Structure 1
């Protein structure tokens, strides 16, 4: 999945509103953290079981989707402003984590 069309959509949205001067890395990172907090707040007082069922409630599901979209939007804007290829960064991070956290070896099934 290419992030470029989504980043273009967000950049044009911000440009039409004159938000460019405010979309600097510091501000975008702070907004991202704030939106992540708002996403967390949707789960704050739920039990683990309730949190697993949150998407069954249409109102709660909508709130969770919108907060996730906010988090994603700010992450995409930050990546665009910093010229970070998120797909490449994610693949690199997974490769590092494969090394750091090797999967347990499965026992070989003998026939």
Structure 2
């Protein structure tokens, strides 16, 4: 992750884009890219979406959108000083406390705090 963060940071720096990379702008760009990813999957059946990467036309497009989402998320975390791996680990630990195996197994129901 540090290498990717540095690559994305240097990509922005080389193009003098740092001034545009405010948290608000990056979050909005991230949301836009997530929307583009959703658009690729929107009308697929559950079975088609599960097999999308084996589709020679759709697979590369989905992969590219996931790449865009990742880049904007990495850049946003970098600008805000958030360690993505640590944040995800913390969130997973919190979710593990809230959604115990006994309480959540086989259920998609939300558990309120």
Q: TM-score, normalised by structure 1?
A: 0.89
Where 1:58 maps in the other structure, the secondary structure is coil
Structure 2: distance between partners of 1:92 and 1:57: 35
The total of aligned residue pairs comes to: 104
Aligned counterpart for 1:29 among listed residues 27, 30, 34: 27
Separation in 1 of the partners of 2:54 and 2:90? 35
Does residue 10 (structure 1) correspond to residue 8 (structure 2)? The answer is yes
- Structure 2 unaligned runs (5+)? 104-113
Distance 1:53 1:84 in 2: 33
Alpha-carbon distance between aligned partners in 1 of 2:90 and 2:47, rounded to the nearest angstrom: 33
1:87 is aligned to 85
RMSD: 1.4
Greater Cα radius of gyration, structure 1 or 2: 1
Structure 1: which 4+ aligned runs deviate by more than 4 Å? none
Q: Structure 2: how far apart are the matches of 1:49 and 1:66?
A: 21
Q: Gaps spanning 5+ residues in structure 1: where? A: 106-111
2:45 to 44, 47, 60: 47
Structure 1 residue 97 corresponds to structure 2 residue 95? yes
Distance 1:50 1:95 in 2: 32
Pairwise CA distance, 1:59: 1.7
Residue 78 of structure 1 deviates from its aligned partner by 0.3
Q: Shift of residue 55 of structure 1?
A: 1.0
